[in-house]
Amino acid sequence: MTAVLRTGVTATPADRAARGRAARKRVSRSAHGTWIPAADRPDPVGVLQRQGRDRLPELLPVRYGRMAASPAAFLRGAAAVMAADLAAQPHTGLTVQLCGDAHLLNFGLYASPERARPLLFDLADFDETYPGPFEWDVKRLAASAAVAARENGHKEEHAFAAARAVARHYRETMRRLARQGELTVWYEHVDADLLLPLVRSGRGRRRAEATLTRARRRTSLHALGKLVETVDGRPRIVRDPPLLEPAGTLDTASLRKIFHDYRSTLSEERRLLLDRYRFVDAARKVVGVGSVGTRCFLVLLAGRDAGDPLFLQIKQAGRSVLEEHLPSGPYLHPGRRVVAGQRLMQAAGDLFLGWTTGPEGRAFYWRQVRDVKGSADVAGMGPADLRGYAGLCGTALARAHARSGDRVAIAAYLGGADTFDRALAAFALRYAERTAADHAALGAAVMAGVVPAAPGV
């Protein structure tokens, strides 16, 4: 994936640093700040409509309704729109495994499989993961910080500062990791406890402490009381249409079949653990913003008895929004692409992460649900708290990129000055303006009846 991996020849740190500095000739660090939409820029509403062609049509109004709620919600669901914008610009050629959808709300808290560490803070969504130029993830993350600041009513200088914090912490973390050995980088992780020192206000600290507490409680056992009811003496996933509905006989039969196929993608000891559970029930589930309309199911398994649950999510995996803009990646199966990307980028992986092929050749990936997970309340953050949180996200992103990319080359490209930081912040403000305009265009399309929207669902 990096130049070192492609050639099979390990270059010296000096050679790798020289390669990073040479990338400045392709794209100077300050050039990242000068973003102008391409003259032939695709219509953003058209991009979203094309994405909807292989989605469940009855759920598309939920997707459009959620995206129309605010510019931040639009950005969250418009990874394909931003991918096209980034692809229209020159890039560094310094390749990493990209998240592909690195915005503030795609970071969160989770427990490591062995439960020996504190909660970890890391990327939490890999539907769009794909190899590509490192700066694309950083730009999307910085833009999300600027959009969030504006939505929270912060001044323009505070939006600039939040976006700049993303780039600065990314740059400083990458430069620190460039000096570390391979195993040290691989074992690097971000403890969730780092969230609390970043919070300045008393109210913000109380909210952060509550987030950590909720995350620790969000286990399968805790979910049992919220997601399961007893019907005719048997446990069943609760109905909450259109967000959570029974899977139906045909879908349940298909899930039972692909469950066995998915099992084969796990390591031997995890297959043994999974075999201790039995299939109980399944439901169709609506998740996220940009993912709404993709086929997604929640499966309830039982272990020792009905009071020993395991919840797995089975989610459709399609082509990454980055694929049409970049060279072919190493995986043809979209589910395997998602799983491989997550395993490569996350500090600690999900025990039950795997992939399979379902009916009509559709790809899916499987993961746990409610496995000690949580996320920050970005909408409630003041300027200082948002700046601190954005910086922590930048730190976590750099750690993830350092696993797959040439961290020495990237660190040399970024340099010790704040040139890159300021350029990324300038880009973020410009892209926040574009996002507001795109959000307005979606709102106009909804009002005109071009796209159907179900608000508040």
pLDDT tens-digit series, residues 296-321: 999 999 999 888 889 999 999 999 99
**Distance from C-alpha of 208 to C-alpha of 382, rounded to nearest angstrom:** 13
Helix axes 79-87 and 419-447, enclosed angle (nearest 10): 130
Residue 122: name the closest of 351, 353, 381, 349 by CA.
349
Among the residues of 220-325, which ranges form H helices?
220-227, 248-263, 268-274
Q: Contact 292/62 with Cβ under 8 angstroms?
A: yes
**Distance from C-alpha of 396 to C-alpha of 99, rounded to nearest angstrom:** 12
**Distance from C-alpha of 439 to C-alpha of 78, rounded to nearest angstrom:** 10
**Distance from C-alpha of 371 to C-alpha of 215, rounded to nearest angstrom:** 9
**Other beta carbons within 10 Å of 332:** 9
Looking at residue 210, what is its pLDDT? 64
Q: Where are the beta strands (DSSP E) in 265-350?
A: 278-285, 296-302, 309-317
- What count of Cα atoms within 13 Å lies in the side-chain half-sphere of residue 29? 20
With tokens 């913003």, the residue in question is 289
Residue 211: name the closest of 121, 346, 305 by CA.
121
User: What secondary structure does DSSP assign to 82-131, as a single string?
Assistant: HHHHHHTS-----EEEE-S---GGGEEEE--TT--SPPEEEE---TT-EE
**Distance from C-alpha of 128 to C-alpha of 392, rounded to nearest angstrom:** 21
Looking at residue 260, what is its pLDDT? 86
Handedness of CA 286, 288, 291, 292 (dihedral sign): positive
**Other beta carbons within 10 Å of 9:** 9
439 pairs with which residues across the strands? none
Looking at residue 1, what is its pLDDT? 38
Residue 82: name the closest of 131, 25, 142 by CA.
142
Q: What angle do CA 73, 389, 413 make, to 5 degrees?
A: 95
With tokens 């990237």, the residue in question is 410
**Distance from C-alpha of 405 to C-alpha of 414, rounded to nearest angstrom:** 14
- List the structure tokens of 449: 């009846």
pTM for this one?
Answer: 0.92
Looking at residue 198, what is its pLDDT? 65
Residue 43: name the closest of 91, 78, 76, 73 by CA.
78
- List the structure tokens of 175: 């430069």
- Tell me, what amino acid is at 66? R
Residue 228: name the closest of 158, 282, 174 by CA.
282
Looking at residue 75, what is its pLDDT? 97
How does pLDDT run along the chain (457 residues), one tens digit per residue? 333 335 344 789 999 999 999 999 999 999 999 999 999 999 999 999 999 988 999 999 999 999 999 999 999 999 999 999 999 999 999 999 999 999 999 998 887 766 656 788 999 999 999 999 999 999 999 999 999 999 999 999 999 999 999 999 999 999 999 999 999 999 999 887 776 666 666 666 666 666 656 655 565 555 666 788 888 888 899 998 888 999 988 888 899 889 889 999 999 999 999 999 999 999 999 888 888 989 999 999 999 988 888 999 999 999 999 999 999 999 999 999 999 999 999 998 889 999 999 988 999 999 988 554 567 788 888 999 999 999 999 999 999 999 999 999 999 999 999 999 999 999 999 999 999 999 999 999 999 999 999 987 7
**Distance from C-alpha of 381 to C-alpha of 378, rounded to nearest angstrom:** 5
Residue 166: name the closest of 181, 180, 149 by CA.
149
Distances (CA, A) of 250 to 240, 253, 282, 293: 20, 5, 11, 19
**Distance from C-alpha of 65 to C-alpha of 292, rounded to nearest angstrom:** 10
Where do the structural domains in the chain lie, given as residue ranges? 3-216+376-447, 220-368
Provide the 8-state DSSP code for 43: P
